[in-house]
Structures are given as C-alpha cells and as structure tokens.
Amino acid sequence: MIQAHCNIVPPDILYEIIKQGKTAEEKEKAIRTLEISESLRTQRTVLTRIHDLRAPKVLEKRRIIYDANHAEDIFSLPGTPRRSETDSQDTGDGDVDNCFINTGRVYDFFKKVFKRNSIDDDGMLLQSSVHFGTDFDNAVWTGSQMVYGDGSNVIFRKGSLTSLTVTAHELTHGVTGSEANLVYRGQPGALNEHMSDVFAIMCDQWASKETTESSDWLIGRNILLGSGNGLRSLKDPGTAHPSDKQVSHMKDYHTGMRIHYSSGIPNKAFYVTCAEIGGFSWEKAGKIWYVTLRDRLREYSKFQDAADITFEVAGALYGKDSDEQMAVHTGWESVGIDAKLLSARAVNLDTKTRILD
C-alpha cells in the first residue's frame, strides 16, 4: 500500500515567506525547509523498505524516540535511540520527551475511543526521529515513521513541532494510509488533510477534556512566530494566521485548488456537525467520521462522497432522522454540500458499516 508523504506545514506558507519574508534569514529558512522536505519526499520509499515496523497481534503500546543528530539525509534515519517503553524516564531533552508523551497520547486516544491498535490497527511500532536537520521548520510522516525538525525560532518556535496537534495530525496520515488510502491530490487529498485535522483536534480535546464549546479548534496552536494563533482553524478556516488561505464553502472552491486550502471545507462541516450535536466531539461525530474513514472512503472519494457517507453512517449508528444524522446534514449544508442517502446515487462503494461497540 502506497502512503503519502505528508508535512504539517503547507508548502504555501513557505512559498509566501520566500516571496514576502521581511528578512533574508526568514527567506533562507523557508527555502531550506522546502529543500529538506522535498528530499524526504523523494526518498520516502527507500525508508519504508528499510524499516519493517509491523508486528501482527502485538497489543501493547510501542514507542521509540530517536535523535537524528541534525542529519539531513534520510538514509541516516532513524538515528540514536533515546527513549522507549523499556526506558521511559525523562531524558531532559524537551523534544524527545514531548514526542514520547504526545505519541503515547495519540495511541491512547485511538485505542480508548475507537478501539484501534496503533496506526495500522495491528500493533505498529510508533517510531519517531527528532532533531532532524538544522533549524528544520517541519514535521513529516514518511509512510513509516515520524520525523521532526527543531523549528528555527524564525518561522516556527523551537520545540513546538512535537506538540500534540502536530503529532496527532501527522500520525493520522498513517491511519488514513492504512484504511482509505486517499490519494494526495485534488478533493481526495483535501479529505486526507481533513481527516488528519479532525482526529488531531479530537485528540487534543480528548486529552484536555474540552467540549465542542470550550475548544479553540486550532491545529498547531501558537507554533508560529509573529502574528497568528495557529496553522489552521476548523471553526473559522482562513483566520488562523495572516497567510491562511483556507476556504470554508464550495462557492470559493475551484478545480486545482491546493489541498491545504480546500480542506477547510470539510473541516468546517465537521465543526458545525460537532456544534450541532454538542458535548464532546469524539463521542458521536468522531465515531461517524472514524467509521467513514475505516470502512467507507476509497482512494478517489470526493467531498460529496464524504458528505453522503457520513450522513448514511450517522443514520446507521444513531437512527434515521436522528438528531445526529440531521447534525451531519446541517454540517455539510453549511459549506454548500447537500448530503444524500447513497441509495439515491450510483456510487461504487462498499455498503458494509461495522458499528463500534
């Protein structure tokens, strides 16, 4: 199964800094981050072949955090082991320790809320490398492991890239790759990014026991230096920072739009759904989205497919015309999409829905 190489930082932010950056240092850091990110992307398949991380029937949590020692060559990964389940004491290295803790929180979230056994639901080892590159302003899911830069303190705060929403976002790309395997372009690519944002914000809310009403709905909270509250807002797409170009309605969508822009449309639909239901996002809306991702979406699913499937899954989970199903309809309607029952459309999708216990 081919999995996308995915970065937490949209390249558009870096392009904008290269064009509009206030200082030469700012532009230099953005250029270097793009170069290293591209190197990771082009060599991802090699790394996947080197490391066999799947372990069938392993049920316990398994994490290993490595120090990449500022290497910029993917062949040097994973690096020097620093912390694992058998050596879980704090190391005094903030990135190592934060990465270990937040990776564990993501594992616990999927396990306790959705009964999922790691990324692949089969006990996959959660392997991460921190301190990759010098002042690298990105965090990357390579298809087999996480790779974190330090942040340059010019674009992103040092130590901020191992935060919970960043970690959860990137690891969810692994979940998506193991399930729907949404291609990383067009509307399927936007749905891929959307799923990572959805499960990242739910994990963050779950860890803090925040309700739909009390959450700020930000991904990458306070990691940017300068103005801006975060990388993306599910509540108000396009408002997280001055260069945020996410859209939140189909009237603003066009074919060829960058996936980090158009993912704001399903993000807003999810937020409105949660706001309509109230309470904790992961309890009802989260289950609808998880079953949709696990059982129903396919590689080339588009926004209309996601709307129709979540609407149908909500009916299967909570009853036809239930408040939850109507909330899903309202969520998609708020972004200009009319969710319909699949029986009314000729869609070649598996109709089996496994109900969560």
Annotated active-site residue 193? The verdict is no
Per annotation, catalytic residue among 5, 26, 169, 170: 170
**pTM score:** 0.87
C-beta of residue 301 within 8 angstroms of C-beta of residue 180:
yes
Q: Measured at the alpha carbon of residue 172, what is the angle toward residues 169 and 174, in degrees to the nearest 5?
A: 130
Average pLDDT over residues 104-112: 98
Task: Give the Å distances, CA to CA, from 238 to 232, 241, 243.
Answer: 7, 8, 8
Sole residue written with tokens 């979230």 = 109
- pLDDT at 35 exceeding the cut of 80: no
Ordered structural domains, the chain, with CATH: 6-178 (3.10.170.10), 186-344 (1.10.390.10)
Task: Report the chain's mean pLDDT, rounded to a whole number.
Answer: 88
List, for residues 200-210, the tens digit of each pLDDT value.
Answer: 999 999 999 99
List, for residues 228-259, the tens digit of each pLDDT value.
Answer: 899 999 999 999 998 899 999 999 999 999 99
List, for residues 323-334, the tens digit of each pLDDT value.
Answer: 999 999 999 999
Can you give the pLDDT at residue 354?
Answer: 45
Instruction: Name which of 48-57, 186-195, 286-295 the model is least confident about.
Output: 48-57
* Residues 6 or more apart in contact with residue 233 via CB below 8 angstroms: 216, 217, 218, 219, 239, 240, 244, 246
- Chain center to CA of 299: 17
Annotated active-site residue 70? The verdict is no
Per annotation, catalytic residue among 5, 131, 169, 260: 260
Q: Is the peptide bond before 242 cis (omega within 30 degrees of 0)?
A: no
